[in-house]
């Protein structure tokens, strides 16, 4: 049943009793062509594109908890493609293109809102760095504008221009950037995959990976053994623990990133803004809550919750950027588990084990990459070769010395 104002009206008449479930709740079959581990955004998108683009539908997505319970269900919903390096920029721009057509593609209103992403800068050095990034975007046909202080003041006159410790000198603006209702992305992809025959199986935790003579055979789960020809790992927040089941040690440390929402208020700030002199970024959801965050806590964690020093650090930056939010109240804080990689860029690649594919290392930038990650991981699995757009995201890039280090912070995950 397609979703539209007409199906909504038709069902309103009958008290909404006849809506079909958005996805089935199937028991696992004994075997599949492809098994995806992880029913988050990337796993579900991969299954969706395997079915839609590659016609591979004998697929199962195994989620250990409820679908979308990972980072897709707990992020600050920002989408953008303002990346610097050739290994990143085209990939994230393709993701933006997919976002722009996604709702019509999987017939689910994920509220893709392109209200602009503005990165503030506070020094000549930062201006030059954003100029370098903006020019790289232009060279790939991606929209970018370099605003001076007046340009920022015109957009957000209530920012702190007069009493700032690090005065706002301008910003890099990507108008096509914005936000998306994160849960709806998981639900849209799940519904789209399920409607094409993919089994989305919740409460099914992978406990072991069976490999014989270097070839993947299947997975042990809490609901029995399931065989497969190809196995795609997309378990962000648990990548190392799952990869260990296949004897893989990854260039990743898992960290907690806290995010916050304020009480819902009338329209206060229109687009997404990131602070350049401290760790803070903010946007206002369609329900009116200021959704904001800043930096990871900095220590390894799987606890999906953080501590007060980071809360203070983020909010000191927030109030210094926007003095007017001082009296607004912080309603709720939460935490997600970030796979921080050794260069701040992800991994979409084959592995030494035949038929085993890895999608991991998204740091805190995984949400915006969801469509392109699904597209490229589906291609990698279907064709057993890297997609052109994700060719740089090789697992062995660190050993060969081809890090994609946008921040230039080196081999320490919590600095990216």
Question: Whose Cβ is closer to another protein: residue 244's or residue 384's?
Answer: 244
* 27 sits near another protein (criterion: CB under 8 A): no
Residues 198-217 touching another protein, rule: CB under 8 A, are: 202
Least CB distance to another protein at residue 368 (A):
18
Residues 352-381, buried b or exposed e (16+ Cβ, 10 A)?
A: ebebbbbbbbbbbbbbbbbbbbbbbbbbbb
The residue within the footprint of another protein, chosen from 69, 151, 155, 245 (CB under 8 A), is 69
Would the CA dihedral through 223, 225, 228, 230 be positive or negative? positive
Give the up-direction half-sphere exposure of residue 174: CA atoms within 13 A in the CB hemisphere.
30
By C-alpha distance, which of 5, 3, 6 is closest to 20? 3
Residues 35-64 touching another protein, rule: CB under 8 A, are: none
Asked whether 181 and 162 are in contact (CB, 8 A), the reply is no
Question: Whose Cβ is closer to another protein: residue 56's or residue 248's?
Answer: 248
Cα 161 to Cα 192: distance, rounded to the nearest angstrom: 47
Cα 367 to Cα 180: distance, rounded to the nearest angstrom: 9
Residues near another protein (CB under 8 A), total: 140
> For the residues of 201-222, what is the DSSP string, one character each?
E-S--EEEEEEETTEEEEEEET
Contacts of 364 (CB under 8 A, 6+ apart): 75, 257, 296, 336, 338
- The piece of 157-165, 212-220, 228-236, 363-371 that touches another protein (CB under 8 A) is 157-165
The owner of tokens 């094409």 is 196
Least CB distance to another protein at residue 354 (A):
18
* 149 sits near another protein (criterion: CB under 8 A): no
Cα 414 to Cα 119: distance, rounded to the nearest angstrom: 21
The residue within the footprint of another protein, chosen from 95, 195, 254, 274 (CB under 8 A), is 254
E strands in 26-162? 31-37, 59-62, 78-79, 117-121, 145-148
The residue within the footprint of another protein, chosen from 227, 245, 328, 353 (CB under 8 A), is 328
By C-alpha distance, which of 181, 182, 185, 193 is closest to 23? 193
Cα 68 to Cα 169: distance, rounded to the nearest angstrom: 39
* 33 sits near another protein (criterion: CB under 8 A): no
**Token pair in block for residue 353:** 């084990």
Residues 227-246 touching another protein, rule: CB under 8 A, are: 238, 240-241
Least CB distance to another protein at residue 355 (A):
20
Question: Whose Cβ is closer to another protein: residue 230's or residue 362's?
Answer: 362
Cα 365 to Cα 347: distance, rounded to the nearest angstrom: 12
Least CB distance to another protein at residue 54 (A):
25
**Token pair in block for residue 4:** 């539209």
- The piece of 37-45, 155-163, 348-356, 365-373 that touches another protein (CB under 8 A) is 155-163
Question: Whose Cβ is closer to another protein: residue 56's or residue 321's?
Answer: 321
Question: Whose Cβ is closer to another protein: residue 228's or residue 395's?
Answer: 395
Question: Whose Cβ is closer to another protein: residue 4's or residue 207's?
Answer: 4
* 150 sits near another protein (criterion: CB under 8 A): no
Residues 86-115 touching another protein, rule: CB under 8 A, are: 86, 89-90, 103-104, 107-115
* 410 sits near another protein (criterion: CB under 8 A): yes
Cα 126 to Cα 277: distance, rounded to the nearest angstrom: 10
The residue within the footprint of another protein, chosen from 50, 51, 236, 342 (CB under 8 A), is 342
Three-state secondary structure call for residue 200:
strand
* 315 sits near another protein (criterion: CB under 8 A): yes
Asked whether 318 and 282 are in contact (CB, 8 A), the reply is yes
Burial class (CB in 10 A: 0-12, 13-18, 19+), 2: exposed
Least CB distance to another protein at residue 118 (A):
14
Three-state secondary structure call for residue 366:
helix
* 267 sits near another protein (criterion: CB under 8 A): yes
The residue within the footprint of another protein, chosen from 305, 352, 384, 385 (CB under 8 A), is 305
Question: Whose Cβ is closer to another protein: residue 225's or residue 398's?
Answer: 398
Q: Other CB atoms closer than 10 Å to residue 401's CB: what's the count?
A: 6
The residue within the footprint of another protein, chosen from 217, 253, 279, 353 (CB under 8 A), is 253
* 402 sits near another protein (criterion: CB under 8 A): yes
Three-state secondary structure call for residue 225:
strand
Residues 354-393 touching another protein, rule: CB under 8 A, are: none
- The piece of 34-42, 129-137, 219-227, 373-381 that touches another protein (CB under 8 A) is 129-137
Least CB distance to another protein at residue 170 (A):
12
- The piece of 20-28, 51-59, 213-221, 350-358 that touches another protein (CB under 8 A) is 20-28
């Amino acid at each position: 049943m397609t979703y539209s104002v007409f199906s909504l009206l038709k069902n309103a008449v009958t008290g909404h009793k006849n809506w079909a479930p958005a996805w089935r709740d199937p028991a696992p079959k004994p075997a599949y062509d492809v098994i995806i581990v992880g029913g988050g955004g990337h796993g579900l998108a991969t299954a969706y594109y395997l079915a839609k683009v590659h016609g591979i539908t004998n697929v199962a997505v195994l989620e250990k908890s409820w679908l979308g319970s990972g980072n897709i269900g707990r992020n600050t919903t920002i989408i953008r493609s303002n990346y610097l390096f050739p290994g990143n920029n085209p990939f994230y721009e393709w993701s933006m293109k997919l976002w722009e057509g996604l709702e019509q593609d999987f017939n689910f209103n994920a509220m893709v809102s392109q209200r602009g992403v503005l990165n503030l800068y506070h020094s000549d050095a930062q201006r030059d760095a954003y100029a370098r990034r903006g020019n790289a975007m232009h060279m790939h046909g991606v929209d970018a504008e370099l605003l001076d202080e007046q340009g920022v003041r015109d957009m957000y006159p209530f920012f702190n221009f007069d009493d700032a410790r690090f005065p706002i000198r301008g910003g890099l603006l990507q108008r096509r950037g914005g936000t998306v209702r994160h849960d709806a992305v998981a639900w849209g992809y799940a519904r789209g995959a399920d409607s094409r025959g993919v089994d989305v199986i919740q409460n099914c935790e992978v406990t072991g990976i069976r490999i014989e003579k270097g070839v993947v055979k299947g997975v042990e789960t809490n609901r029995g053994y399931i065989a497969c020809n190809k196995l795609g790992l997309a378990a962000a927040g648990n990548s190392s623990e799952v990869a260990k089941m296949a004897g893989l040690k990854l260039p990743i440390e898992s960290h907690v990133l806290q995010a916050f929402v304020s009480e819902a208020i009338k329209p206060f700030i229109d687009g997404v803004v990131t602070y350049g002199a401290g760790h803070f970024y903010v946007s206002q959801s369609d329900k009116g809550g200021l959704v904001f965050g800043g930096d990871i806590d900095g220590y390894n964690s799987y606890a999906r919750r953080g501590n007060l020093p980071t809360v203070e650090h983020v909010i000191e930056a927030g109030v210094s950027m926007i003095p007017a939010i001082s009296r607004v109240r912080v309603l709720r804080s939460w935490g997600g588990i970030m796979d921080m990689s050794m260069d701040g860029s992800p991994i979409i690649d084959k592995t030494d084990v035949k038929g085993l594919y890895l999608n991991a290392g998204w740091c805190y930038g995984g949400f915006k990459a969801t469509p392109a990650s699904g597209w490229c991981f589906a291609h990698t699995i279907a064709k057993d070769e890297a997609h052109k757009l994700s060719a740089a995201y090789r697992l062995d890039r660190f050993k060969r010395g081809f890090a994609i280090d946008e921040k230039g912070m080196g081999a320490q995950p919590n600095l990216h």
